[in-house]
Amino acid sequence: MKKLIGPFTQILPLTDLPVKGSLRDEQLHIIPNGGVLIDDGLILAVDDFERLRKANPSAQIEEITGDSVLLPGFIDCHTHICFAGSRAKDYAMRNSGKSYLEIAQSGGGIWDSVTQTRAADEAVLADLLLKRVQRHLAEGVTTIEIKSGYGLSKEAELKQLRVIKAVADKTTASLISTCLAAHMLPKDFDGTHQDYLKYVLNDLLPVIRQQSLSNRADIFIEQSAFNTSDALNYLAKAKHQGFEVTVHADQFTTGGSEVAVKARAASADHLEASTGYEINLLANSDTVAVTLPGASLGLGMPYAPARKLLDAGACLAIASDWNPGSAPMGDLLMQAAVMAAAEKLSAAEVFAGLTSRAAQALKLNDRGTLTKGKLADIQAYPCADYREILYMQGKLKPAIVWAADLN
């Protein structure tokens, strides 16, 4: 049955914006006193509320009272929220001046999360994941990418991906799974980095495809993880198996984004260490540059050069990197708003980076804007002016979130 929702003080459909490059707020199309007509989880029309009501007299009305600004649902295109345990000890040690190596040697780091996630059974892991998903959904995030990578063995990686698939059936949020078995060399693996990547390619990825657990593969390119040549070979072979690929790139050192461009990866994520060379590579490619301000906040590091990436012509998305180690907060809107103040990003650039451009990073063309035929993933903020949303730096949360249930 058709449903008409409104009237909204302002609707920002985020349509007709270029996919790449800088954006000005003057480019935003704003519909005053607007409504959205939906049916079976899809948007049929976005227009003046009274015009839609007169044209659709049989539509069910969901009336919105008071000031309200409507946006597309946010798309968090990079998270690690399928995990067990806490790394609060790591955070305290880092704030006390301990180095990454010192923390790892004391039993912390990624391996700590691997150990705790391996020890959790699927029911416990699913309960933890569902709570995080529902919190994200309540905060306007209707599509969530979720990586494995805290298993680092065939069975433990499959367990994480099975949990993500199971939780997808329990929420109206859309969950997009990614295999990050190439997160680091497991401490209990008897072999080299190259041997481990062969193990993932030969023993794990085919099973993931067979069981329809994911069609995306990621790799962490860094001195503490995998080098550029091994990563490029891994990504090529993963693509040959039918996986879309993405890359953890340029977090502490450069090299990863160049691999991402060469591999024609969907995205290069992190980019805190990117220089002018990497910025130009990304700007002249179809690889989306994904910035992760939550990691910068959690690690006390500079932000990725978002302003320079946009001015160079890149497609820039913003994601939370929600994870137990470097980005435990997981508040996507707050992180984006704070980075926007530091990097001087317009509201148009931020909202596009959280919606339409984030959809590009996940190769999703059915969401991210409010237009006919798109998913009815929408969120309404209790204010009269869209500029209030970023002005409040994440403290203004959506009053209502509607998510098209695809399950």
Q: Which helix (H) or strand (E) holds 236?
A: helix 228-240
Query: Residue 105 above 90 pLDDT?
Result: no
CA-CA distance, 125 to 146, in Å (whole number)? Answer: 13
CA-CA distance, 283 to 21, in Å (whole number)? Answer: 8
Question: How do residues 165-189 score in pLDDT, each as one tens digit?
Answer: 999 999 999 999 999 999 999 999 9
Domain ranges of the chain: 3-72+369-402, 74-361
**Looking at the domain 3-72+369-402, which fold is it?**
Urease, subunit C; domain 1 (2.30.40)
Which two three-digit tokens encode residue 6?
């409104």
Question: How do residues 28-84 score in pLDDT, each as one tens digit?
Answer: 999 999 999 999 999 999 999 999 999 999 999 999 999 999 999 999 999 999 999
Q: Which residue has the tokens 């085919």?
A: 206
Measured CA distances, 83 to 6, 217, 248, 256, 325 (Å): 38, 18, 18, 25, 11
Q: Taking the CB of residue 52, how many other CB atoms lie within 10 A of it?
A: 22
Identical topology for domains 3-72+369-402 and 74-361: no
Contact (CB, 8 A) for 34 and 49:
yes
**Looking at the domain 74-361, which fold is it?**
TIM Barrel (3.20.20)
Average pLDDT, the chain: 97
Question: How do residues 143-159 score in pLDDT, each as one tens digit?
Answer: 999 999 999 999 999 99
Contact (CB, 8 A) for 60 and 35:
no
Question: pTM to 2 decimals?
Answer: 0.98
Measured CA distances, 11 to 71, 93, 110, 158, 386 (Å): 6, 45, 42, 41, 9
Give pairs for 388-395: CB < 8 Å, separation 24+: 388/69, 389/69, 389/71, 389/333, 389/337, 389/347, 390/336, 390/337, 390/340, 390/347, 390/350, 392/337, 393/334, 393/337, 393/338, 393/341, 394/331, 394/333, 394/334, 394/335, 394/336, 394/337, 394/338, 395/334
Question: How do residues 230-254 score in pLDDT, each as one tens digit?
Answer: 999 999 999 999 999 999 999 999 9
Contact (CB, 8 A) for 53 and 4:
yes
pLDDT band at 406 (very low <50, low <70, confident <90, very high): low
CA-CA distance, 28 to 37, in Å (whole number)? Answer: 21
Contact (CB, 8 A) for 149 and 183:
yes
Q: Which residues contact 282 (CB under 8 A, 6 or more apart)?
A: 257, 260, 261, 268, 271, 274, 289, 309, 312, 314
